[in-house]
Amino acid sequence: MGIFRPKCLGILLLGLFILGFDAGAAQANSAWKQLRGHSACGGVDQRGNLQEPCGFDRAKFESKAVGKCPKGSFFDIGTWACFSCPKGFNRNARPVTSPRACDKPIKGSTTKAVFLGKVSCPSGAFLDPRNGGECWKCPSGYGRTAAAVDKWNACGRVGKKAVSAEFKGKACNAEGAFRDPRNGGECWKCPEDHLRTAAAVTAGNACQTNLDFEPATKTAALTCPAGQHFDFIDGGTCWSCPQDTTRSTSGVKTAKACRIKKMRWVLPERGKYSLLSLGRGAEDILAKLIAERTRIDDAAKAAAKASGEPEAEAITNVWKVIDANPSESPVLSALLAQIVMETAVKPAAQRTASEKDLLAIVANLIQWNRQFVAYQSKQAFDAYFVAANKANAIALSKMGAASIYAGGVIAPPDYNEIVGGAIQMGAGFAGPVGAAMITFIKPVNAALLPYRALQAAKKAASAAKVAGEVAKTAAVSSSWTGASAAMAAAAPMVIAAAAAVVVTMEMDKLLKTEEMEGKIRQAIDISNRPVDIGLLLQMKEGPDEFLFHWAAVIGGKAQPSANFKTRLAAY
């Protein structure tokens, strides 16, 4: 049986950080990907209007500006700055801030084409080869005629008049993409400023260019040092904005001279699943754990050892929670998650009916949570893209590109925060704390192994203390009140932990818009595939991702059902 050791405890405690929700929030289901988030500030509102920044700061006066560009550089009126091209390169017509602002002729240089994916048309649509491949659809019950697909009689039906087909989009709709007939149809793209050659699409010379490009180097901003902002006030002066801010359109001497670039994304509310609402299989397994007691007692002892709590006191507190509110027990949550992981690596023939039922339900929950994270990231990216374009246009119209040359008015979304926000703070601790407890109830002293790589062995004991405090609180209350302590313990771990899931979900934070959009599209594609937990656990970051999802979707409250009580009595 496989033993899984998550590398980052923080990944399991991300849920202690972000959003609370009320009892009416949406329960877990496949409609999670349809939920709409929104930007609270620094983006665009639901009408598409630019929102106020999330905050402002003052600019700092640096020096008087002096009057000419350094030798070998040129002045760009759009940015009020001096730039130079690398030796042998010439300025072209692209914006000076473009990574291809300078070019030089070269002998034809070839490179590979980039594979974008299989040609695919929407459900019910068909592929037509015209214009490099297009998707069209006939009305229900109609089929294609011999007429061209864009003609009025492209679709026919016996006993009915012919009708036109409906255009559903290009088969390869990414900008600059082309269709290749390989493997039934694939979408490919040549790099910018490259053209398709006659070579096979998979060849190393599938694309060719006759120019080499380099960015222009900013040497001074109207002779202000790089990174500072020129202003005409006082005869020409240089100013700087604090980190993570950029120059606003307000006066340089005002309290709003610099605007915070960050866009704050608010995730929609959604409910969590209770341990007691995971189906009859989960109820049967939980009832057996409670009746047999052994694994629960062993888990309590392991937690006590990690936290320094007296063993007898730990066992008493754990059972108080189970007796009062079994759905809120971090220990039951940890053990049930552990059983899911153990079941997933068993041969299918060795799984009990209860284990199969539980495994199928949890696989669905993981897929739905993947969809939630991926689609929220897509929404945040779309809002960022609109906001950045609007903000840049306004800045250009009011004060010229000097306001944006140093890095843009709006910063790209922080996908670590979106991933972290997938676990809601107010949703109960059974999921996140239970997931954390797995790291120190596993055999072979697995508690320390995940943290050696991060040089943070003390964090396991810290989390164990949090779990112990929560257990004491839960023994006398129907609600968890240890949130502040839990957050304090988890805070040092959250950044490294979130990064593990961001990479697993193929959603690294990238600065190039094209790459960012591609990664999000890939994350959505991954999220729409059924989840095989056994395969997930074989991935390098798989155990961390599994426990992240467990922490995100488990934690709701529910009373024991009649079936659970019956199963408990039967043991």
Query: Averaged over 130-159, what is the pLDDT?
Result: 91
Work out the pLDDT band at 403, boundaries 50, 70, 90.
very low
Query: Positive or negative CA dihedral for 138, 144, 145, 146?
Result: positive
CB atoms within 10 A of CB 308: 10
Q: Is residue 405 part of a domain?
A: no
Please write the tens of the pLDDT for every residue from 237-289: 889 999 878 888 788 999 999 988 778 888 888 878 889 899 999 999 999 99
Contacts of 38 (CB under 8 A, 6+ apart): 45, 46, 265, 266, 383
Q: Which two tokens stand for residue 570?
A: 């039967």
Which residue's structure tokens are 């509102």?
Answer: 45
187 lies in the same domain as 274: no
425 lies in the same domain as 348: yes
Query: Averaged over 306-333, what is the pLDDT?
Result: 85
468 lies in the same domain as 563: yes
Q: Is residue 546 part of a domain?
A: yes
Q: Which of 173, 190, 214 is the last residue of a domain?
A: 214
Please write the tens of the pLDDT for every residue from 510-566: 445 566 677 777 778 888 888 999 888 877 667 777 877 887 788 777 788 887 777
Q: With 60 as the cut, is the pLDDT of residue 470 above it?
A: no
pLDDT of residue 423: 55
Distance from the Cα of residue 343 to its chain's centroid: 28
Listed ranges 138-142, 231-235, 239-243, 262-266; the one with the highest mean pLDDT: 138-142
431 lies in the same domain as 518: yes
Q: Is residue 547 part of a domain?
A: yes
Please write the tens of the pLDDT for every residue from 63-98: 887 667 788 888 776 666 788 898 888 888 788 878
Please name the helix (run of DSSP H) or strand (run of DSSP E) that holds residue 282, with its range, or none.
helix 280-292
- Residue 563, Cβ density class (10 Å: 0-12 exposed, 13-18 middle, ≥19 buried): middle
For residue 324, give its domain range: 9-44+268-380+410-570
Q: What angle do the packed helices 458-476 and 294-307 form, to 10 degrees?
A: 120
Q: With 50 as the cut, is the pLDDT of residue 24 above it?
A: no
Q: Which of 530, 541, 141 is nearest to 364 (CA)?
A: 530
Percent of the chain with pLDDT over 70: 70
Q: With 70 as the cut, is the pLDDT of residue 226 above it?
A: yes
Could you tell me the pTM of the whole model?
0.57
Phi, then psi, of 109 in degrees rounded to 5: -105, 130
Q: Is residue 107 part of a domain?
A: no
Q: Is residue 321 part of a domain?
A: yes
552 lies in the same domain as 455: yes
**Structural domains in the chain (count):** 2
Which residue's structure tokens are 């609600």?
Answer: 479
- Mean pLDDT, the chain, integer: 73
Please report, as a single letter, which amino acid is at residue 190: C
Q: Is residue 61 part of a domain?
A: no
Compute the C-alpha angle 500/505/507, nearest 5°. 90
173 lies in the same domain as 24: no
291 lies in the same domain as 363: yes
Q: Is residue 448 part of a domain?
A: yes
Three-class SS string for 482-517? CHHHHHHHHHHHHHHHHHHHHHHCCCCCCCCHHHHH
Q: Is residue 392 part of a domain?
A: no
CB atoms within 10 A of CB 525: 12
Q: With 80 as the cut, is the pLDDT of residue 493 above it?
A: no
Which residue's structure tokens are 């004491």?
Answer: 472
Identify the bridge partners of residue 39 per DSSP, sorted by sequence position.
Answer: 265
Q: Which of 197, 214, 231 is the last residue of a domain?
A: 214
Please report, as a single letter, which amino acid is at residue 377: S
276 lies in the same domain as 130: no
365 lies in the same domain as 455: yes
More confident residue, 23 or 380: 380
Q: Which of 168, 198, 214 is the last residue of a domain?
A: 214
430 lies in the same domain as 310: yes
Q: What angle do the packed helices 430-441 and 330-344 form, to 10 degrees?
A: 60
pLDDT of residue 209: 81
135 lies in the same domain as 276: no
Query: Averaged over 157-172, what is the pLDDT?
Result: 89
User: For residues 458 and 432, what is the distance between their CA atoms, to the nearest angstrom?
Assistant: 19
35 lies in the same domain as 128: no
Q: Which of 133, 162, 134, 158 is nearest to 147 (CA)?
A: 162
Q: Give the 3-state secondary structure of residue 390.
A: helix
Compute the C-alpha angle 480/414/22, nearest 5°. 30
User: For residues 334 and 303, what is the distance between their CA atoms, to the nearest angstrom?
Assistant: 11
User: For residues 251 and 229, what is the distance between their CA atoms, to the nearest angstrom?
Assistant: 12
